[in-house]
Amino acid sequence: MNIQASHSTGVFDVEPGRAPVLSFQGVSKSFSHENRSTPAIETINLDIARGEFVAFLGPSGCGKTTLLNLAAGLIKPDNGAVLRDGEPLRGPNTRVGYLTQSDALLPWRTVIANVTLPLEIRRIPRVERQARAMAMLERVGLGAFARHLPGQLSGGMRKRAALARTLVYDPKTLLLDEPFSALDAQARLAMQRQLRELVDELGLTVLLVTHDLNEAIALADRIVVFSKRPARVLEDIDIRHDPSILRQRRTSLDGSLHDRLWSLLENELEAGALR
Amino acid sequence: MSAIVASPSFHVSPSLRLGIGRFLLLAAVLAVWQFAPAYTLIDSLISRPTLVAERIFQWIANGLLIRESIATLSSVIFGLFFGGVAGSFLGLVAGFWRPVGAIVEPWLTGLFALPKSAFIPLFILWFGISGRQHVLFVATVVFFFFFFAMFNGARNVPASWRNLLALSGANAFQSIRILYIPASFGWLLAAMRLAIPHAFVAAISIEVIASRDGLGHLVKTSSAVLDATGTVAAVAWLVALSTTLGATSIKLAESARWNK
Ligand SMILES: Nc1ncnc2c1ncn2[C@@H]1O[C@H](COP(=O)(O)OP(=O)(O)OP(=O)(O)O)[C@@H](O)[C@H]1O
Ligand SMILES: [Mg+2]
Contact B168 A107 (CB under 8 A): no
Nearest to A101 by CA among A136, A148, A69: A69
Confidence class for position A208, pLDDT limits 50, 70, 90: very high
Residue-level pLDDT at A118: 93
| Residue-by-residue DSSP string for B161-184 | HHHHHHHTT--HHHHIIIIIHHHT
Domain B49-258 has CATH 3.90.1310.10: no
Contact between residue B166 and residue B189 where contact means Cβ atoms under 8 Å apart: no
In chain B, whose CA is at the least distance from the CA of A170? Answer: B168
**Closest residue CA from atom 3 of ligand 1:** A31
β-strand A79-84 against A87-88: which pairing, if any? antiparallel
Distance from CA of B179 to the nearest CA of A (A): 8
Q: Which of A93, A100, A149 sits opposite B160 (nearest CB)?
A: A100
Q: Tell me, what's the ipTM?
A: 0.77
Q: Which of B161, B167, B185 sits opposite A98 (nearest CB)?
A: B167
Residues 173 through 212 of chain B touching chain A, CB cutoff 8 Å = 174, 178-179, 182-183, 185
Contact between residue B80 and residue B196 where contact means Cβ atoms under 8 Å apart: yes
Contact between residue A180 and residue A194 where contact means Cβ atoms under 8 Å apart: no
Q: Is A102 in the pocket of ligand 1 (CB under 6 A)?
A: no
Contact B166 A92 (CB under 8 A): yes
Confidence class for position B41, pLDDT limits 50, 70, 90: low
Integer Cα distance of A130 and A199 in angstroms: 23
Chain B residues lying within 8 Å of A100, measured CB to CB: 160, 163
Residue-level pLDDT at B42: 62
Give the domain ranges of chain B: 49-258
Burial label for B189, CB within 10 Å (0-12, 13-18, 19+), is: middle
Write out pLDDT tens, residues B113-171. 878 777 777 777 777 767 678 888 899 999 999 999 999 999 999 989 999 999 988 88
Confidence class for position B175, pLDDT limits 50, 70, 90: very high
Nearest to B243 by CA among B192, B197, B177, B175: B197
pLDDT above 70 as % of chain A: 84
For A231, B94, B107, B110, the CA distances from B104, given in Å and listed in that order, are 41, 7, 5, 10
β-strand A222-226 against A79-84: which pairing, if any? unpaired
Does B166 lie at the interface with A, CB-CB under 8 angstroms? yes
Q: What is the DSSP letter of A57?
A: E
Write out pLDDT tens, residues A11-58. 444 444 477 888 898 888 888 888 888 888 888 889 998 888 999 988
The side-by-side arrangement of strands in the sheet containing A53-57 is: A96-99, A173-177, A205-209, A53-57, A222-226, A233-238
In chain A, whose CA is at the least distance from the CA of B158? Answer: A104
Residue-level pLDDT at B258: 57
Contact between residue A151 and residue A107 where contact means Cβ atoms under 8 Å apart: yes
Report, as an integer, the average pLDDT of B179-196.
Answer: 89
Residue-level pLDDT at A63: 87
Q: String of b and e for B212-251 (b: at least 16 CB within 10 Å)?
A: ebbbbbbbbebbeeeebbbbbbbbebbeebbeebbeebee
Distance from CA of A100 to the nearest CA of B (A): 8
Contact A117 B161 (CB under 8 A): no
Contact A122 B168 (CB under 8 A): yes
pLDDT of residue B176 exceeding 60: yes
Report, as an integer, the average pLDDT of A102-118.
Answer: 92
Q: Is A123 in the pocket of ligand 1 (CB under 6 A)?
A: no
A60 alpha carbon, closest ligand = 1
Is the pTM higher than 0.90? The answer reads no
Confidence class for position A130, pLDDT limits 50, 70, 90: very high
pLDDT of residue A3 exceeding 60: no
pLDDT of residue A6 exceeding 50: no
Judged by average pLDDT, the poorest of A101-110, A145-154, A158-167, B121-130 is B121-130
pLDDT above 70 as % of chain B: 90
Q: Packing angle between helix B131-155 and helix B120-127, nearest 10 degrees?
A: 120
A62 CA: nearest ligand 1 atom: 21
Integer Cα distance of A114 and A107 in angstroms: 9
Q: Which of B161, B163, B183 sits opposite A74 (nearest CB)?
A: B163
Confidence class for position B6, pLDDT limits 50, 70, 90: low
- Start-end of H helices in A168-206: 185-202
pLDDT of residue A114 exceeding 90: yes
Q: Is A219 in the pocket of ligand 1 (CB under 6 A)?
A: no
Q: Is A28 in the pocket of ligand 1 (CB under 6 A)?
A: no
Burial label for A193, CB within 10 Å (0-12, 13-18, 19+), is: middle
A28 alpha carbon, closest ligand = 1
Whether the ω angle into residue A230 lies within 30 degrees of 0, i.e. cis, is: yes
Give the three-state DSSP class for A74: coil
Q: Tell me the pLDDT of chain A averaged across its residues.
A: 81
Residue-level pLDDT at B8: 53
Contact between residue A27 and residue A82 where contact means Cβ atoms under 8 Å apart: yes
